[in-house]
Amino acid sequence: MTTSKTPLLDQLPTPEELRKLQPGQLKQVAEELRRETIDAVSVTGGHLGAGLGVVELTVALHYVFDTPRDRIIWDVGHQTYPHKILTGRRDRIRTLRMGGGLSGFTKRAESEYDAFGAGHSSTSISAGLGMAVARDLSHGNNHVVAVIGDSSMSAGMAYEAMNNAGALDSRLIVILNDNDMSIATPTGAMSAYLARLVSGGAYRSIRDAAKQLASHLPRFIYDKARKAEEFSRSFITGGTMFEELGFYYVGPIDGHNLDHLLPVLMNVRDKDDGPVLVHVVTQKGKGYAPAEAADDKYHGVVKFDVETGKQFKPKANAPSYTGVFAKALVTEAEHDDKIVAITAAMPSGTGLDTFGKHFPERTFDVAIAEQHAVTFAAGLACEGYKPFCALYSTFLQRGYDQVVHDVAIQHLPVRFAIDRAGLVGADGPTHAGAFDIAYLGCLPDMVVMACADEAELMHMVATAVAYDDGPIAFRYPRGEGVGVELPERGEVLEIGRGRVLREGSKVALLSLGTRLGEALKAAEELDNYGVSTTVADARFAKPIDRDLLRRLAANHEVLITIEEGSIGGFGSQVFQALSDDGLLDGARGAFKFRSMTLPDVYIDHDKHELMIAKAMLDSKAMVAKALELLGDEKGAARVMIA
């Protein structure tokens, strides 16, 4: 009979059972929960460090609060693997981030314990305030708790929410999970401020003594003492900014010590008025030596050996697009001292950590503040610099109004290096770079490029450096390139000019971005059906190469565009151009145009290649589409079932 490594956790399928335990048993629950989390992520990969840092907090929250009736909202949601194990999903935790398996973030459709979906940071307080106000409007009495990290607290949205919560004086609990970490080392004044609060030893001891004394006094004296205590606090620590925003600040307390966590959480739970912020200090990667020792605290890991912590990183067959971008930008910056680079708390993810090693004074990590990053870049561009704003496609969505209002309308030459464009695999729909072609292509005066491979990416970096007539963006996917030979330095491309790679006469496949490889494969396959196929690489989603379009429309029966982007993107631009040029006015059936895009749905996480097949954007789907348009429906059907 195998003895379980988690005997107590085995008896806790949901928080109901957890809440029946004695407080003294919770330490063991936390130990077992940490062990289970490490073991699960060792076989799935995913976000580990953040979850390890909130094991005790997770246990304490589900013990003190009547979840799911009391709402717990986790910011970003990458730290919720322990939460998922405790809330009825332990049996599926080893399907994490796999096709058909658990999401790597909170997801309302996945569990009633996931009060709010996440993936992007700094949304928890806004969502929590919404739920608190809804409770008050319907005369409810449940609690609402938002758990937000120190870096997620650096985003403007968090302040908008706290400002409003303070003004409404809503009963809302915010737990600031301060592990002094983001993905990389923390940046910004907020981090320094929190460090001051945490290190204010004098503050803690005086305040603790005053609290002890005050809690035994009659209410009216207690209120006076509380005012005095706030004065002492403001006197000692300059007043917590959170209190200036209308929050009652509690802390900092040790977020790994259940003897501290439980009484404080019970107190704030039973405090019946206004917003409270509990400042807990934790350690990212806590309790797992390889994570504690790592610079990134094992923020994001692939499968690994539990004993040694050694990650099983797959051997790369080609350089990553991110790495090629970073190297190309370094090369360009060696020739142009006006080039500066901006990241929003993603230095390693965007490759700007590499750029920063070469040009530290020209590299800016603005923390999780994409809106600020864009307008900060606009300011730099006003003064003649060449700012490369390197953001994931999905995170650029957070700064969209700034792109329109502060950059495009003012024709400012900001360069947008859009990483993680297209489907991103395990992170799923919250992180998909699905919409950038659509949301940028509709902006007057915006140039939008998409590279077909890593050599093309180098050319686009060089083109962006040279282009000073307004904003320009280039998109590239997560992961490895295709393994093409790389030039020493990128060549400047002619704006708005595509290229033909294969000449045919019946079908034209006009690809944008990295679908080109599959388009060339499709053309080879169509040869077997006697269908002569042209393959062209658009290179630009905007401005459209109208000459190329006219040529393809005039010389082929069928034109198909392909892009790893949503509806409303490149295909729509092409449709607009074809119709404007009267190229769709011919006799019925004379010329057919179709646009292959991501389907108009949110595609759940899976391996990238499986998501692409599901999205019908692989070579098989292209062949089937061409045959269908040529009237060979049977051939098309055969292709799809093969």
Ligand X SMILES: CC(=O)[C@@H](O)[C@H](O)COP(=O)(O)O
Ligand Y SMILES: Cc1ncc(C[n+]2csc(CCOP(=O)(O)OP(=O)(O)O)c2C)c(N)n1
Question: Does 179 show up as a binding residue in the annotation?
Answer: yes
Q: Return the bridge partners of 472, or none.
A: 415, 447
Give the separation between CA 15 and CA 61, rounded to whole angstroms: 10
The helix-helix angle for 619-629 and 516-527 (nearest 10°) equals: 50
Contacting residues for 123 by C-beta, under 8 A, at least 6 apart: 75, 116, 157
Q: Which is nearer to ligand X, 178 or 427 (CB)?
A: 427
Distances (CA, A) of 349 to 132, 322, 344, 420, 603: 35, 8, 10, 9, 22
Q: Which is nearer to Mg ion, 181 or 553 (CB)?
A: 181
Tell me the residue number closest to Mg ion, measured at CB. Answer: 149
Name the binder of 420 from Mg ion, ligand Y, ligand X, none, CB < 5-8 A by kind.
Answer: ligand X
370 is catalytic: yes
83 marked among binding-site residues: no
* Least distance from ligand Y to the Cβ atom of residue 102, Å: 18
Tell me: is residue 75 an annotated ligand-binding position. Answer: no
Segment 180 to 219, residues that bind Mg ion, using CB under 5 A: 181
Tokens describing residue 620: 């098989």
| Of the candidate residues 121, 126, 363, 511, the single one contacting ligand Y (CB under 6 A) | 121
- Smallest gap from Cβ 280 to Mg ion, in A, equals 11
Beta bridge partners of 261: none
Residues with Cβ within 8 Å of 587's Cβ and at least 6 positions away in sequence, in order, are none
**CB-based burial label for 616 (10 Å; 0-12, 13-18, 19+):** middle
379 is in an annotated binding site: no
With CB under 5 A, what is the number of residues at the site for Mg ion?
5
Residue 631 annotated as lining a ligand binding site: no
Distance in Å, CB of 75 to ligand X, minimum: 10
Helix (H, G, I), strand (E, B) or coil at 480: strand
Structural contact between residues 534 and 505, judged by C-beta atoms closer than 8 angstroms: yes
- The bridge status of strand 447-450 relative to strand 540-542 is antiparallel
170 or 177: whose CB is closer to ligand Y?
A: 177
Catalytic residue among 171, 284, 327, 386: 284
- For position 75 contacting Mg ion by CB under 5 A, the verdict is no
Nearer to Mg ion (CB atom), residue 79 or residue 331: 79
Among 135, 398, 515, 539, binds ligand Y (CB under 6 A): 398
139 annotated as ligand-binding: no
Q: Confirm or reject binding of residue 80 to ligand Y (CB under 6 A).
A: no
Q: Concatenate the DSSP letters of all residues of 407-450 into one string.
A: IITTT---EEEEES-B--STT-GGG-B-SHHHHHHTSTT-EEEE
Active site residue 475: no
In whole angstroms, how close is the CB of 179 to Mg ion at the nearest point?
4
CB of 305 to ligand X, least distance (A): 20
Q: Which does 129 bind (CB under 5 to 8 A by kind): Mg ion, ligand X, ligand Y, none?
A: none
Q: Tell me if residue 357 is catalytic.
A: no
Q: Is 358 known to sit in a ligand binding site?
A: no
Query: Considering only residues 121-160, where is the footprint of Mg ion by CB under 5 A?
Result: 149-151
In the set 32, 332, 370, 563, the catalytic residue is 370
Selected binder of ligand Y within 115, 173, 183, 329 (CB under 6 A)? 183
Q: Is residue 270 classed exposed, middle or buried when 0-12, 13-18 and 19+ CB atoms within 10 A define those classes?
A: exposed
Span 286-345, contacts to ligand Y by CB under 6 A: 344-345
Alpha-carbon distance of 458 to 324, in angstroms, equals 7
The least distance separating Mg ion from the CB of residue 298, rounded to whole angstroms, comes to 13
Q: Is 341 exposed, middle or buried (0-12, 13-18, 19+ CB in 10 A)?
A: buried
* Most distant pair of Cα atoms in the chain: their distance: 93
Residues 625 and 620: their CA atoms lie apart, in Å, by 9
Q: Which is nearer to ligand Y, 183 or 457 (CB)?
A: 183
49 near Mg ion, rule: CB under 5 A? no
The string of DSSP codes covering 353-383 is HHHHHH-GGGEEE--S-HHHHHHHHHHHHHT
- From 73-81, 91-99, 258-266, 619-627, give the range in contact with ligand Y by CB under 6 A: 73-81
Is 288 among the annotated ligand-binding positions?
yes
CA-wise closest residue to 300 among 284, 316, 289? 284
Minimum distance from CB of 460 to ligand X (Å)? Answer: 20
11 — phi, psi (to 5°)?
A: -95, 5
> Do you know the residue count of the chain?
642
Binding mask 347-386 for ligand Y (x = CB under 6 A): ---------------------x-x----------------
Binding residues vs ligand X (CB under 6 A): 47, 76, 78, 183, 300, 349, 420, 424, 427, 431, 478
Which is catalytic among the residues 90, 135, 398, 542?
Answer: 398
φ, ψ of residue 251 to 5 degrees: the values are 135, -165
* Residue 350 beta carbon to ligand X: minimum distance, rounded to whole angstroms: 9
83 binds, among ligand Y, ligand X, Mg ion, none (CB under 5 to 8 A by kind): none
Identified binder of ligand Y from the candidate list 34, 62, 71, 78, rule CB under 6 A: 78
Helix axes 454-466, 321-335, angle to 10 degrees: 30
Contacts of 189 (CB under 8 A, 6+ apart): none
Cite the annotated binding site for thiamine diphosphate by residue number: 78, 119-121, 179, 288, 370
Tell me which residues are annotated as active site.
284, 370, 398
Q: Where on the chain is the footprint of ligand Y (CB under 6 A)?
A: 50, 53, 76, 78-79, 120-121, 149-152, 177, 179, 181-183, 284, 344-346, 368, 370, 395, 398
Q: Where on the chain is the footprint of Mg ion (CB under 5 A)?
A: 149-151, 179, 181
